[in-house]
Every structure is written in structure tokens, then in C-alpha cells.
Structure 1
Amino acid sequence: MIFYELYLRSFYDSNDDGLGDFLGLKNKLDYLCNLGIDYVWLLPIMKSPAFHGYTVSDFYEVNPVYGTLEHLKNTLKEGHEKGLKFVLDLPINHVAVSSEWFQKALKGEEPYKNWFIWANEKADLDEIRHWDDSKIWQKIGDKYFYGIFGPASPDLNFENPELWNEIKKIFKFWLETGFDGFRLDAAKHIFDFDIEEMHFKYQHEKNVEFWKEMTKYIKSIKEDAIVISEVWDAPEIVRKYEGIFDIGFNFPIAEDLKMTLKKESPSEFNKTLIKCIPEYLPDGKVLSKSGNFLTNHDMTRILSDLKDEEKVKLGFSILYTLPGVPFIYYGEETGMKGIPKDVNFTEDSQEPFHWYENGFGPGQTEWKGYKFNPPYSGESVEEQKKDKNSILNTVKSLISFRKNNLWLENAKVEILNFDENVVELRGYDQLHEIIAYYNLKSSISSFFLQNGQELLSIGNNYIENNVISLAPFGVHIIKKK
């Protein structure tokens, strides 16, 4: 499985209003198919006052800037006919202030007033969340509501069973609309507040029970629906949720792999595998597949982070040769740049996708100015297609390699060797075996190759008499004979 995270507003515009939309996606399904994508993960497309869509005002309506529900259904239907599947990003732990649910709750209407958490005499109105100095209590009129993600996002109170039933209706609605699964935003935040003591507290056991019931329900509606969780935390926390979801995002490997590339350190690479994907090491056991990625919509784009196209290619090469499920964020395949201010201000990592080198043309979205990706910056599809060594063509080659070796998704891995320059990685199952060589340094490394058939070579690598000169940040993969 190859996943593509897509921000619709920035992708392709079908009606010349400067905003990407459902029919624009329909017009560009072939681009995704030619890239080799299997699943399109759509960031929230429900009705929302926010550009990013993560504060939902109506879970049963599409955002009108993207078109109509019929436009969406037609797009999903045509995508299915082309072999694509679609995953919907559903942020259910909070709503928008403009949500009918919250507006009725403010008026004291049943059952909505009990669907939110309101401050009482026990509440410390100055309590801040643990990752920054933002307050968790938000004032509106003469009331204070709990909003861990800020004043635009009233948190829902899942202590109420009727709310669980409402969430099930939402899942059912979107599955019947044509989606093939869900990406579950902020999965550890369903129960993150102690209602008795009135303070912030992760309650992972309650979260686990909630998601067990929801995933069981989702699969009762659509047996092959795929469910992906976002638990952004340390490995020991992430593992509390293993086995509930089909795929769990592996934030630790994303962060550690990028740091390894920055340090150009084979020893750090070895530590990263042991720490972040132990379930794929020889004695490990996979409960939920590892969702492997380099960046997403909340993070600095990979080229802005690594500042070196060859390192970016190496990062993708590692991603597509490791077990688990690879994800790519739209525009990373063409080398888009972007540095969000923080997780509350992510516009700068969600700039318009460039189809044309001059930045303008039919279907080009223009909802935001080009702060990080100006015209003639070389990261358009038009320009990248011309260069066989471009990031785009490298990613296409890697996806093609991956799809020719589908067994890698469930493979075991082990580090055979590493020195100050090169990592030698073995991937295998009962029927297959490959050896991957990664040069983590900015200088050429020469060594004897094991006997085998060449499957993939990234970089200006040179082989003579079974000795390879591996290019700086180059990759060479062989199939063992």
C-alpha cells in the first residue's frame, strides 16, 4: 500500500476560483495513478470555518468551497474505477465554535450541553497544556469550556454514551458516501481530561476501549475498511494503541530518521531501527502496521528541513525499502518547501501544489501566496518531469520498486553491517531477500558487493569487478541469489 496525504484546497482547481476542489481532484486522478498511489488520504473536507478543516461545524456536510456531496461521490466513484481508494481524515475529539452542537450547548439545550466540558469551582482557569504555555480553558460569554487545542476547538465530552452513538452515525455516513476508511486525528485525545479532578490527564485505557468499539463498528459496516491512528508520542505510548488499528503513524521514526540524515550517522540509523520498528526486527511481532513518513501537514517540509535534495532522495529511499506502510505528503514528491510557524499555524506547509513552473495556469490553485515555493523554483510537476534525476522521478522509481516487491510491507529487517559511512540492511521473508546499501555521507564510499541481482540504484553509483563506488547519499539494492 502506498498512501498520499492530500490537502484538497491546494491541489487542482476545476472552476477558476483559485481553490482546489473535488472535481479538480477528479481531473488529476491519473497523476496519482501514474505516481503509483494506492490510497488517497484526504485532509478534512467537512464543513468548517477554518482553512485546514480540523474544526468541523457539520460532520454531515462537505465544505461548499470544495463542491457538493455529489461532486465528491462522483470523484470517489471514478477513483475506484481507476483502482484508487480513499481515506477520510476525521477530527472527532472537538468541533468548531460555530457548530450547531456547541451553539445549542451554550443555550443549555439537551443533550448538547452535556457533550462538552464546562469549568466549575474545581477548575484551575490558568491551567496550561503540557507542550506549550497555552491555556486549556477558553472563555466564551460568561462561561469557560475545555479546549485543549485552543479557543476555536471546544472538546467533546465522551463520558456521554449518546455521543458515542452519534460518532458511529458519522462513520457510517462517510463509509456510505464512498470512503474506504479513516485517518483518526488526535486519537489519544478522546479522553485527555479527568472529569472528577477537573484537570488535564491522558486516560489511555479509556481511549483504547473507545477505539476498540469504534473500529469494530467501522468494520461491521465495511469489512475491508482501513483505520489509521494518529498517536503523536513516544514509542512506549504509541504501543499502548497497537493492535486496535490497521496502521499507526510512526512519529518516532519520522523524527529520528530525519535527525540521522542530518547527522549523517550510520550508528544513529541502527539505533533508530531498534527503537522505532522493533516489531519488524527478527524477534518482533506486528500488531498494527507501522505508518512510515517523513513529514505531514503539521511539520516542516522535508527539503526545508534537510536542505539537500540528495539527502531527501536518500530519506525517501529508506522509507520505501523499510517494512510497514509508506506515506507521502502532497508536494514532497516534487520538492516543495515550507516551514509552519507551529501546529496552530500550518499554512506555510500547505502552499498550492505547482503544476506549472511559472506558478500559474489552468487548474493552478492560488488561495495563498508563494512564500516558500515561488515561480521558477524548480519544484513544479512541469519542470520535475524533465529531469530523470529529479525528486519526482526518484520517488516514482521508488514507488515502482515497492510495488514490485509488495512483500516488503511485512518483511523482517536486520542491520548486517555499518561503518562510518554505509549501512548494509537485510530485508527478508520466507521467500524473498534483499540487501540495501545506504551511503549516509557526503563522500563516495567504495566496497565489495554481495552477489545478487540489481533491483534499484539511486545516485551516480559505479560498479566494476563487483566493487561499487556508492555516490554521496546514494542507495543500491540487490536481490540475493
Structure 2
Amino acid sequence: MNIFFSSLSIIFLLNCFKSRAETDEDWWTHGVFYQIYPRSFKDSNNDGDGDLQGIINKLDHFKDAGLTGVWLSPIMKSPQVDAGYDISDYYSIDPMYGSMEDLKNLIEKAHELGIKVILDFVPNHTSNQHEWFKASENGTEEYRDFYVWVDGTPDKPPNNWISVFKNSAWKWSTKREQWYLHQFLEAQPDLNYWNPEVRKALHRILIYYMDLGIDGFRVDAVPYLVEDKLLRDEPRSYDPNAQPNEPDYLIHTYTKDTDDTFDVVYEFREVVDEYTKKNGGSTRILMSEAYAPLDKTMRYYGTSDGSRLGAHFTFNFFFVSLNLNVTTAYDIEALVYKWIDNLPNIYVSNWVIGNHDNRRVSTRCGVENVDGFNMLVNLLPGIGVTYNGEEIGQEDGEVSYEQGKDPAARNKSTFYKESRDFERTPFQWDDTINAGFNEGHETWLPVSGNYHETNLAAQKEANGLSHYKIYREVLKKRQEDPAALGDTNIWSLSEDVLVLKRTLGNSHIVLAFKLGWHNNTIPEEVFIPGIKCNKAIVAITNVGSAYNIGDALNPLQFTLNPHDSIVLDINC
């Protein structure tokens, strides 16, 4: 078989890397974090919107699954122009979700179950309904420079900067007769980090929530925090597919990933580290969201020598771009090594396959492959991140333009391409009305029509395998020593077959995964590189696999059918 010879020839060229858990035993370094999209998770009062009490009512789900912590997308008070990423009061909970007492109750009950709670923190901008902005626009001295204001005339923006959501990043205020910067929507004015009082105000918010018992923060949109003080025009990208009003039309030299932005993130880290040092208890952590070039992404972790620290981890978005139409096993292998090879050894890797801004993995990569991808991201070294619904293989929902809520997709001709509503539809708990999300009130986004077939209750009660049962077993398997502490190798044996091996001494945990994308009807003979014995035991399989748990096979030669993903225990 040619595959054997070509694969063997590359074994000696592969890099082998250590799990970061080997040198850092802190609670978060080998955790699995679950992103809750609160408005779509569980509606406890039947008003159509998910809420904090709904999350409290479902806390046992996280314990049962074996999760380390939950991250809540924004719940602070907001006009909801951009799904809560336009905060009008950092010190209040939006009434849609409940009250501060509800949050305190959630923290207490989660901690009783051993579940950490992470809040979404939005420091780049506020809502234009925030009292800071109102005072700033009115010229109140204390807040006058809390935002980026620039002189000019109403007919000409200060420069050519373009918003992430298209068109000029500047808005004229008739009240103040100046321009203000908004790197996102007009309703989201950018805070001015050149003002030290702004930084202090944001630090106080972090301390307030840590005092409540919050275990850390996911820091939103960090690349945009500090812009060029000279307001220089940004250069053209000459991207032939970008229109003049689109962000890709420019290279964001002066509005994104500036050196001063990293300093702000490092200051946030100093605040949470000092808090832990002063108050004791478990480490409070920062996760940073940075869609940035790889070298910049790594800088958000901190300096390469660790002399200054940033986020405990910066989200690795390599896998959220996987697409069954173009991705091969070779691509996946390359992405894994690209991340690991660029991450300084003092930092911890993380693996993400989806979130609230990207189509669900089951839709992008096929429901038949969701078990394999859940195995992959949770058996790689470091931290795993799960977006709600991935544990049951939930697909994107069906949303019409008229039903859509995403402010970035209000053009009817591009709605189905650009809208983020599809991955935000309600979680599917069971096969009762509205998938058990609530008791029948019209939901803020429609419940997917496939909830009778795909729901958590059915998968928990299934006689045989289900996506959820497999997910739970994978999270148990990742706690075993080879997965928690072992060396790692990953191979693409063909464009369709991927092998991941975690090794500690003579013990190996191996994932063999045939994507079934490029050769989707043909079984393939495969082998596990670097194994000398001829016996392996099947520990976990995907839904629909020809293998059964407990089967013995020869790791030097066995067959995978399209979409097979099996986890093997090998001792030799």
C-alpha cells in the first residue's frame, strides 16, 4: 500500500511536543470550557429569551458532561443593538437575563458543583447609551476624554478608517460638534485608552466581578483597544474582492494590534494576578479574543520570555475555518503544528471548533464528523473549548431574513452569507415544544426544525451510542495520563485520514479519524506510526462506526470507513 510507505517516510520529520500540563498543574491548564450563549440556552420564565435562572436550572448538565468551567456571552445591561456587546452599564445585569442576585446565585451553585464561571468582558467600546458616553458627549469634564473625539467638519471624517461593520469608523455628533470613533457599530463608541482614567475604570470593573466570585473573563475584541494617536490614514490592501466601504479594503496598521494595545492587555493581566495574590483562592484567568495574524496572536499571551504576561490563553481560531469542501487531513495536521511551533513553551495551547460568530461545526464539517472533531480538540494538549450544542452535534438553525437579529447582516441580498443568527438558535434540550427551551412562547430566534431528532434528552436516553455520550467519554479519556501529560504527534496518512497519538511511557491514546470528504465512499487501510505491538483496544467510537467499544484490532493494519473516528488504547 503506497500510503504506508509515504507515511513512514515522514515519521522521522515530524515534530514531537510536550503537553503544557506537564509543567503547570493549575486548574485551567487542562480544562474544558463551555461557551453559553445565554439568550439561546434556557428560558426559565417563558418570555422567549434565555436567562440566568435557566442556566442555574441546567448546571447539572455541565457537571454530568465533565466540564471545567462555563463562559457566558455578555449579560451586562445593554440596548442589545449588538447582542449585548454594546454595554450601557457594566455594574448591572440586563433585565432580559435577570438580576445581580441571579448572577450571585449562579456563581454559588456552580462552585458547589466544581464549575468555574467566566464572564464576557467588553473593554473596547460601550453603548452610546452608557452614562459615560452621555456625559462625554455633553462635555462633562470628568468624562470629556473617555472616548476618541476629533475636531472636524460634518462633511469630512478625520481619516479613512473603516468600521468592522463596513463604512466609515467615524460618526459626527451634532451635540458636541466633533467626530467620535466607532470601530464597530455607530452605537458602540470606542473608549479612549490614552486616558489613564479609562484604564482605571475598566480595572475597577474586573475587581468588582472578582469580588462577586467570578473566576475569570473572556476579553472581547482586544486587537482594537488602542489606535494610532496621530490618526494616520491606513494603506490600501489592494484586495480585488474588497469594496471601498469594506474593512478588507485597508491594511489596519493604525487601528488594530498596535503595540500600545498589548500593553493594555498586559495591564489587565496584572490586575487579575494581583487580585489572586492578594485574596488567595484559585487563579483568576483571562481568555482573549483576537482574530489577528499569528505573531500578534502569540503576543496577546505575553512576551516570548514571559517577562510580561497577557491573557492566560488567546483563542486559537484555526479550526473555526475548517470546511468540508476544501479542508484535508494534511491541512489539519499543518494547522496543529503551526500553532504549537509558534507558541512559546511557557504558554498553554487551546483548541476551538466553533463559537457564536461562526457556523456550527456540524454544518461546516458534517454531523457525521462531529464526534471526530470533538475527539480531536479534546485529546490535543492543553485547553478544550466547546460552543453550546457541539456536544450533541447540533447544526445551524433555519432563520429567515425577516426573523434575523444580527445587526451585521441587514442586507437582504447577503443575509444568508453574512448572518450569525444561524449558529445562535436555541439549544435543543428535548423533543417537547420549542425543544424544551421554554414552554411555548415565541423564541427570539426560531428553534431548528430538526430538534425532534437532535436533542440532549434523546441522546442521554439512547440505548446505543450518541454524540453526547461520546463527548462525555472523550472528556473522561482526556483526564488519563497520556492525554493530560503525554507527548503528542499528529499525522495525515492521506488527504482523508488523520492520526493523533498521545504517549506517556508505554501507554498511548490514539485517535484515528477518516474525514470522508475527499474519498467519501471508499474504506481505507491505515496504521498507527511508531507502534511496535499488534494489539489495540477500541475505547471510544463515533456514531455509526463499524467498530464496537472493546474490540481488539491490529494497530499496524486496520480499516477505517468514511467518517469513522475511533479512540484506541495501546500499551507497548
Length-normalised TM-score, structure 2: 0.76
Going from structure 1 to structure 2, the CA distance change for 1:236 and 1:367 (only over 3 Å counts) comes to: farther
Q: Which residue of 2 aligns with 1:248?
A: 314
Instruction: Please point out which of 380, 389, 411 is paired with 1:331.
Output: 389
What one-letter code is carried by the residue in structure 1 that aligns with 2:377? L
CA distance in 2, matches of 1:328, 1:274: 21
The structure whose Rg is larger is: 2
Q: Which residue of 2 aligns with 1:373?
A: 448
Deviation at 1:464, TM superposition (A): 6.5
Shifted more, 104-113 versus 366-375: the winner is: 366-375
Instruction: Please point out which of 261, 267, 277 is paired with 1:207.
Output: 261
Deviation at 1:309, TM superposition (A): 1.3
The DSSP-based 3-state class of the residue aligned with 2:408 is coil
Q: Deviations over 1:335-375 (max 9, x none)?
A: 33337987835333222212231433766275635546126
CA distance in 2, matches of 1:291, 1:478: 23
Deviation at 1:132, TM superposition (A): 6.4
Deviation at 1:293, TM superposition (A): 1.0
Q: Which residue of 2 aligns with 1:445?
A: 524
Deviation at 1:431, TM superposition (A): 8.0
CA distance in 2, matches of 1:411, 1:208: 32
Going from structure 1 to structure 2, the CA distance change for 1:429 and 1:209 (only over 3 Å counts) comes to: farther
Deviation at 1:409, TM superposition (A): 5.1
What one-letter code is carried by the residue in structure 2 that aligns with 1:214? F
Shifted more, 77-86 versus 214-223: the winner is: 214-223
Structure with the bigger RCO (C-alpha within 8 Å, sep 6+) is 2
Q: Which residue of 1 aligns with 2:469?
A: 393
Instruction: Please point out which of 187, 198, 203 is paired with 2:222.
Output: 187
Contact kept, 8 Å, 1:447 with 1:468, in 2: the verdict is: yes
Aligned residues: CA RMSD:
2.8
CA distance in 1, matches of 2:356, 2:290: 15
Contact kept, 8 Å, 2:152 with 2:179, in 1: the verdict is: no
Q: Which residue of 1 aligns with 2:181?
A: 146
Deviation at 1:475, TM superposition (A): 2.1
The DSSP-based 3-state class of the residue aligned with 2:198 is helix
Q: Which residue of 2 aligns with 1:231?
A: 290
Deviation at 1:97, TM superposition (A): 0.7
Q: Which residue of 2 aligns with 1:79?
A: 110
Q: Which residue of 1 aligns with 2:89?
A: 58
2:368 is the alignment partner of 1:289:
no
Deviation at 1:80, TM superposition (A): 0.2
2:361 is the alignment partner of 1:277:
no
Contact kept, 8 Å, 1:230 with 1:249, in 2: the verdict is: yes
What one-letter code is carried by the residue in structure 2 that aligns with 1:8? P
Going from structure 1 to structure 2, the CA distance change for 1:368 and 1:287 (only over 3 Å counts) comes to: farther
Deviation at 1:414, TM superposition (A): 2.2
Q: Deviations over 1:372-398 (max 9, x none)?
A: 612645222233334433322222222
Going from structure 1 to structure 2, the CA distance change for 1:430 and 1:46 (only over 3 Å counts) comes to: farther
CA distance in 2, matches of 1:184, 1:270: 29
CA distance in 2, matches of 1:168, 1:30: 32
Deviation at 1:264, TM superposition (A): 5.8
Shifted more, 135-144 versus 292-301: the winner is: 135-144
What one-letter code is carried by the residue in structure 1 that aligns with 2:183? I
Number of equivalences: 471
2:254 is the alignment partner of 1:170:
no
Deviation at 1:46, TM superposition (A): 0.8
The DSSP-based 3-state class of the residue aligned with 2:86 is coil
Instruction: Please point out which of 355, 359, 366 is paired with 1:300.
Output: 359
CA distance in 2, matches of 1:470, 1:448: 10
CA distance in 2, matches of 1:375, 1:301: 14
User: How do 1:124-163 and structure 2 match up within 5 A?
Assistant: 124-125=157-158, 127-129=160-162, 133-141=166-174, 142-163=177-198
Q: Which residue of 2 aligns with 1:108?
A: 139
What one-letter code is carried by the residue in structure 2 that aligns with 1:165? K
Shifted more, 110-119 versus 237-246: the winner is: 237-246
Contact kept, 8 Å, 2:159 with 2:231, in 1: the verdict is: no
Length-normalised TM-score, structure 1: 0.89
Contact kept, 8 Å, 2:435 with 2:455, in 1: the verdict is: no
Contact kept, 8 Å, 2:353 with 2:361, in 1: the verdict is: yes
Going from structure 1 to structure 2, the CA distance change for 1:417 and 1:357 (only over 3 Å counts) comes to: closer
CA distance in 2, matches of 1:86, 1:108: 38
The DSSP-based 3-state class of the residue aligned with 2:55 is helix
- Contiguous gaps of at least 5 residues in structure 2: 1-30, 234-253, 278-282, 303-309, 410-419
